[in-house]
Amino acid sequence: MPGFELFGDMERKEVNDVLESGVLMRYGFDGNRNGHWKAKELEAALEARMQVNHAQLVSSGTAALTVALASAGVGAGDEVIMPTFTFVASFESIIAIGAVPILVDVDDTLTLDPVAVEAAIGPKTKVIMPVHMCGSMADLNALKSLCEKHDLILLEDACQAIGGSYDGKPLGAIGDLGCFSFDYVKTITCGEGGAVITNNAKYAKHADHFSDHGHDHHGKDRGAETHPFLGYNYRISELHAAVGLAQVKRLDEFLSIQKKYYGILREALSGVEGVSFRRVPAGGEENYSFLNIFLQDENSARKGANALKEAGVDACFYWYDNNWHYYKKWEHLTQKIALGKLPNEILNQMQNFDQQDFSKSDQWVGRTISCLVKLSWTEEEVRDRAAKMVAALTK
Ligand SMILES: *Cc1c(COP(=O)(O)O)cnc(C)c1O
């Protein structure tokens, strides 16, 4: 997955353009920038690649989620449905705007289970936020129907699945809003960065203003711009955008490398007894950043993960025990441990996690091992790895 593995001359050239002008900011200073607008160019490139009308770059994937929620008018006490298996950024962004995270089970797609989502919808629900974890997507048609039926917003977190598709459309472009991360370990990187994409002109305008202190971006004098509503600073710098501009041009090359290596590993593991694969919803194509397998039960998955480690197969994750990706280790969330007082809506409306039954998630995530697909491997290394994995998991 990590685009940093193939960092090179193209990235250096784009960054140099910015260094030579010295204009490190994405807005203004028109006369000094030698015609370089890296953030704007990267936004245009994302709009073209993702087939959407609007892309807004921001400072991180977490910022993208926060800006997306704020742009859709989500605020205090609104409930956002999110999966038990994700990254902490999901609830961080929800809490940042005073909204309430509602955790819901995942199924054998390792993303939101539509049946569990429907059961969690209540009068305060405003958003369904599927997270396309480890390269593959939620059942988006089912979630879309729920959104239409209950008048909700669909916000796709595609941070780990950029370049994947569903019914022929890029992931992120299917919901009302979609988010990407370009942090250092994502498929394409800016160092730090993120983006919101949408076809909704109102949300796009909100994202543009909100991510820059509410600036309306009219005219040539920043100081004279007006502020139609409250905002914040989630801007990306021109230096970061320059790195991303080089990387986005290589996205399809990166995806084809991932697909090839994923195919080799998957074919090798298909013959191993007790190993099955994560379900990809009909009409979906993964971005192949991870190969996700199920073993027969939690015990065999733990043993399998250890056997892989002992065989020297790196970059395989047993998420069930992970501090950052699974609800079981999110004591800071479940016990509401914040530096200051949290908003009353969050304190009053959050689920009581002592009484919550996530056994369905436990069952799937407990059986899962995810193996990262690296861009820097050679084909020989992948074949060697496949053989080691088969041997380790056959034991
Ligand atoms: C990386 C990631 C984010 C957050 O992105 P940052 O750029 O690191 O803030 C959000 N959601 C998911 C699923 C991620 O993997």
Same domain, 312 and 230: no
- How many domains would you assign to the chain? 2
pLDDT at position 164, please? 98
Same domain, 80 and 143: yes
Q: Does 244 contact ligand 1 (Cβ within 6 A)?
A: no
Same domain, 138 and 50: yes
Give the residue numbers spanning the domain of 322. 252-394
Same domain, 98 and 74: yes
pLDDT at position 5, please? 83
- The CA 185 to ligand 1 mean position distance, Å, reads 10
Q: What percent of the chain has pLDDT over 90?
A: 97
* Residue 42 main-chain phi, psi, to 5 deg: -65, -40
Given ligand 1 and candidates 1, 84, 183, which is best to mutate, with the most ligand atoms within 8 Å of its CB? Answer: 183
Name the residue type at position 271. Answer: G
Q: Name the residues annotated as catalytic.
A: 186
Angle at which helix 201-210 crosses helix 61-71, to 10 degrees, equals 120
Q: What is the pTM of this model?
A: 0.98
Q: Is the pLDDT of residue 395 over 80?
A: no
Q: Does 179 contact ligand 1 (Cβ within 6 A)?
A: no
Could you read off the pLDDT of 185-220 as tens digits, one per residue?
999 999 999 999 999 999 999 999 999 999 999 999
pLDDT at position 325, please? 97
| Single residue among 226, 250, 274 that ends a domain in this structure | 250
Q: Which secondary-structure segment (H or E) carries 348?
A: helix 344-349
Q: Which atom of ligand 1 is nearest to the CA of 193?
A: 7
Same domain, 335 and 225: no
Q: Does 56 contact ligand 1 (Cβ within 6 A)?
A: no
Could you read off the pLDDT of 233-252 as tens digits, one per residue?
999 999 999 999 999 999 99
Q: Residue 337 is part of a domain; what is its CATH number?
A: 3.90.1150.10
The structure tokens listed for 296 are: 């027969």
Same domain, 212 and 288: no
Distances (CA, A) of 28 to 32, 33, 44, 293: 9, 9, 18, 49
With cut-offs at 50, 70 and 90, classify the pLDDT of residue 360: very high
Average pLDDT over residues 292-320: 97
Q: Is the pLDDT of residue 2 over 80?
A: no
Could you read off the pLDDT of 312-348 as tens digits, one per residue?
999 999 999 999 999 999 999 999 999 999 999 999 9
Same domain, 170 and 273: no
Same domain, 174 and 267: no
Q: Residue 76 is part of a domain; what is its CATH number?
A: 3.40.640.10
Nearest CA, atom 3, ligand 1: 61
Same domain, 276 and 366: yes
Q: Does 60 contact ligand 1 (Cβ within 6 A)?
A: yes
Q: Which secondary-structure segment (H or E) carries 153?
A: strand 153-157
Same domain, 215 and 319: no
CA distance 365 to 173: 27
Same domain, 218 and 294: no
- The CA 61 to ligand 1 mean position distance, Å, reads 5
Average pLDDT over residues 119-139: 98
Q: Is the pLDDT of residue 386 over 80?
A: yes
DSSP one-letter code for 319: G
Average pLDDT over residues 153-165: 98
Specify the 3-state DSSP secondary structure of 318. coil
- The CA 57 to ligand 1 mean position distance, Å, reads 14
Q: Does 160 contact ligand 1 (Cβ within 6 A)?
A: yes
Radius of gyration of the chain (CA): 21
Nearest by Cα to 202 from 59, 308, 70, 58: 70
Q: Which atom of ligand 1 is nearest to the CA of 182?
A: 7
| Single residue among 207, 230, 250 that ends a domain in this structure | 250
CA distance 303 to 299: 6
